[in-house]
Amino acid sequence: MNPTQVVVAGIGGYLPRRVVTNADLASTIETTDDWIVERTGIRQRHLVEDGENTVSMAAAAARIALDAAGVAHDGVEAVILATATPDDAFPASAVRVLNELGAIDGFGFDISAACSGFIYALSVAEAFIASGRIRNALVIGSEVYSRLMDWNDRRTCVLFGDGAGAVFLRAEPQGEGQPKRGILSTHLHADGSLGDLLYVDGAVGQRERSGYLHMNGREVFRHAVGKLSGAVSEALEANGLTAEDIDWLVPHQANLRIIDGVGRKLNLPADRVVVTVDRHANTSAASIPLALYEAHRDGRIQPGQLVLLEALGGGMTWGSALLRM
């Protein structure tokens, strides 16, 4: 029997229709388009409208991924949803997504690892499938960061947007004499001593706290390039590869300067790095699957290509994953 591989069978994404430009923000807070673009590369972001939330966006992205894979929605065995903005404390947003899809025989749970959440969720799903416990899983990142913003704080509110991305994973036998496809490896890290660099001030029941996101941007930037480059090198070394072997780097879309810094460290040309931060802003756990969806949909990412994912977020958490499409 040929060994099992965990392949990406379908990719989906969803962005709210409401687009907020830097000029729109400049009409309500003290900022300018030039100030935002120079420091972040962001020109606009999508924000939810009435009736949209983490579950609705996740379900929309999931349906696109399932349709791309040619899979009936009720055939989903597991939903693993990365989010820092669940619609309720419980039940998990993943369970509500299962209900939206009509997958009554599946199970689901949320993962909270901030902007690294999708990499964490991908790793968990791959382990479930590779172990033989399940045959398929939806891995979703869905975020409504507009809930967490102090819209009077120009240092943070200009950075984030809302959206969802999803991939459908399933087990397939590896072809005789063929290179392994799907998830080749994942690599996860965390350092709780750095948790105060990026956090949300509040939790369930703590009504005296603001509930807003707080960030020490200078320190996050200082750690980001080194830790992300290390995680990328770890993935390459684990698979006996070099940066020259990588067809596409799909990074977490937090800041264009961080993305460029990681690319330079790897000597990767800019035309092999997928960038959506200018149009999506930072959608946290949704940013990588949204970028993956866009680059796959427009034909840049092709079957057989090697794709490297990396992310860093509050916690501090960071990690990488290597895929062969």
Q: What is the pLDDT of residues 244-291, one digit of tens each?
A: 999 999 999 999 999 999 999 888 899 999 999 999 999 999 999 999
Residue ranges covered by each domain of the chain: 4-173, 182-324
Average the pLDDT over 196-201 and give the result.
93
Average the pLDDT over 152-176 and give the result.
95
Give percent of the chain with pLDDT exceeding 90: 91
Give percent of the chain with pLDDT exceeding 70: 98
- pLDDT at position 208 is 67
Ramachandran angles phi, psi of 234, nearest 5°: -60, -45
Average the pLDDT over 130-134 and give the result.
96
Instruction: From the candidates 46, 252, 280, 296, give the one annotated as an active-site residue.
Output: 252
Our answer to whether residue 282 is catalytic in this structure is yes
Q: How many residues does the chain have?
A: 325
- pLDDT at position 203 is 73
Ramachandran angles phi, psi of 6, nearest 5°: -105, 105
Our answer to whether residue 252 is catalytic in this structure is yes
Query: Looking at the predicted structure, is the pLDDT value of residue 243 above 70?
Result: yes
Binning pLDDT at 50, 70 and 90, where does residue 176 land? confident
Average the pLDDT over 99-112 and give the result.
97
Query: Looking at the predicted structure, is the pLDDT value of residue 2 above 80?
Result: no
- pLDDT at position 269 is 92
Distances (CA, A) of 142 to 32, 97, 145: 28, 11, 9
Average the pLDDT over 300-311 and give the result.
98
Asked if 83 and 54 count as a contact pair (C-beta separation under 8 A), the reply is yes
Query: Looking at the predicted structure, is the pLDDT value of residue 59 above 80?
Result: yes
Under DSSP, the state recorded for 145 is G
Instruction: From the candidates 115, 136, 187, 280, give the one annotated as an active-site residue.
Output: 115
Distance in angstroms (rounded) separating the CA atoms of residues 162 and 206 = 24
Query: Looking at the predicted structure, is the pLDDT value of residue 204 above 80?
Result: no
Domain 4-173 and domain 182-324, same fold? Reply is: yes
Distance in angstroms (rounded) separating the CA atoms of residues 190 and 102 = 35
- pLDDT at position 206 is 64
Query: Looking at the predicted structure, is the pLDDT value of residue 169 above 70?
Result: yes
Binning pLDDT at 50, 70 and 90, where does residue 312 land? very high
Instruction: From the candidates 22, 53, 136, 282, give the one annotated as an active-site residue.
Output: 282
Asked if 223 and 197 count as a contact pair (C-beta separation under 8 A), the reply is yes
Binning pLDDT at 50, 70 and 90, where does residue 91 land? very high
Q: Which residue type, as a one-letter code, is found at position 101?
A: L
Distance in angstroms (rounded) separating the CA atoms of residues 314 and 250 = 19
Distance in angstroms (rounded) separating the CA atoms of residues 136 and 142 = 19
Binning pLDDT at 50, 70 and 90, where does residue 241 land? very high
Binning pLDDT at 50, 70 and 90, where does residue 1 land? low
Q: Which residue type, as a one-letter code, is found at position 245?
A: D
Of 29-38, 124-133, 173-182, 249-258, the least confident: 173-182
Our answer to whether residue 296 is catalytic in this structure is no
Half-sphere exposure at residue 155, Cβ-oriented, CA atoms within 13 angstroms: 8
Asked if 228 and 312 count as a contact pair (C-beta separation under 8 A), the reply is yes
Cis ω for the linkage preceding 251 (within 30 of 0): no
Mean of all residue pLDDT scores within the chain: 95
Task: Give 4-173's CATH code, choosing from 3.30.980.10, 3.30.70.100, 3.40.47.10, 3.30.1490.190.
Answer: 3.40.47.10
- pLDDT at position 205 is 64
Under DSSP, the state recorded for 240 is T
Q: What dotted CATH number matches 182-324?
A: 3.40.47.10
Q: Alpha helix (H) ranges present in 131-204?
A: 154-157
Q: Which of 311, 274, 281, 310 is nearest to 295 (CA)?
A: 274
Q: Which residue type, as a one-letter code, is found at position 311?
A: A
Average the pLDDT over 46-58 and give the result.
97
